[in-house]
Amino acid sequence: MFNLMKTAILMAAITALFMALGAMVGGRSGMMLALLVALGMNFFSYWFSDTMVLKMYKAREVDESSAPQFYGMVRELAQKAQLPMPRVYVIDENAPNAFATGRNPEHAAVAATTGIMRVLSERELRGVMAHELAHVKHRDILISTVSATMAGAISMLANFAMFFGGRDSEGRSSNPLVGILVAVLAPIAASVIQMSISRAREFEADRGGAEISGDPAALASALEKIHRIAQGIPLEAAERHPETAQMMIMNPLSGRGLAGLFSTHPATEERVARLLEMARGS
């Protein structure tokens, strides 16, 4: 309940930030237009988020005949989690990663790269897919997609404000220096909000995935292996669409240094430590 309330507050904050930028660009009418756009984007994200993301990653759907072992693994885990069978996709990428998408458990999809299926053992891959199904069970997948869409829109609107200036509440041109400052800070604020939403939910999905698979140590081992291998293999689709990085089991972006401060994922070491603690207690 606390995480649900926290997420609702953070989603309200990211919407308010979008409206504030709208007000800066176009005054009071700009704020109202931004609110309408935010509602429209959330509606669009609700219905079409899974289709958009799967197309971005050129994912291909598989079934029992085309990928019997992988499909059967997801089906068995979905039954254990008491979830409807999701659609199953494979992404032809060397970078090891996986994600879940969709608006609810009845309309969910899980996807994994060929890279992750190649480098992980069956036990480790089972832990990863259980993690993704935990996201489905917790209904994280819609929230993460909507927050990603809003964060992307805030960056776009901030760039517009920087190049074309802004308006105050009376419609008069505002100080251009203020416009530049807001244009720089707004995307950072959106990233911090998005990060806050995602990090808490990753820990919960790790815990939930460990419970579904019954093997916390396998998920811990998978995370360590993905973290080590993924650093040298870029995931091109994620680099082109960085707002989708939060959906992955491991941050796929190559940014280091300052970019790491705004990572949507907790430190792998902390995730692994929590899972190993679960394994010791089981």
Q: So where are the chain's domains?
A: 48-143+175-281
For the beta carbon of residue 147, count every other beta carbon within 10 angstroms.
27
| CA triple 198-121-134, angle to 5 deg | 30
- How many whole angstroms separate alpha carbon 225 and alpha carbon 228? 5
Predicted structure pTM score: 0.77
In the annotation, is 132 catalytic?
Answer: yes
Q: Which of 76, 106, 124, 132 is catalytic?
A: 132
98 bridge partner residues:
112
- The one-letter code for the residue type at 255 is G
Average pLDDT over residues 97-112: 93
**Parallel, antiparallel, or unpaired for β 108-113 and 87-91?**
parallel
Angle at which helix 140-164 crosses helix 2-56, to 10 degrees, equals 80
Confidence of residue 135 (pLDDT cuts 50, 70, 90): very high
Confidence of residue 258 (pLDDT cuts 50, 70, 90): very low
CA dist 34 to 18, 31, 112, Å? Answer: 7, 5, 35
**Second CATH level (architecture) for the domain 48-143+175-281:** 2-Layer Sandwich (3.30)
Confidence of residue 240 (pLDDT cuts 50, 70, 90): confident
Confidence of residue 2 (pLDDT cuts 50, 70, 90): very low
Q: Are 60 and 114 in contact (CB under 8 A)?
A: no
pLDDT recorded at residue 261: 47
The residue among 272 and 162 whose pLDDT is bigger is 272
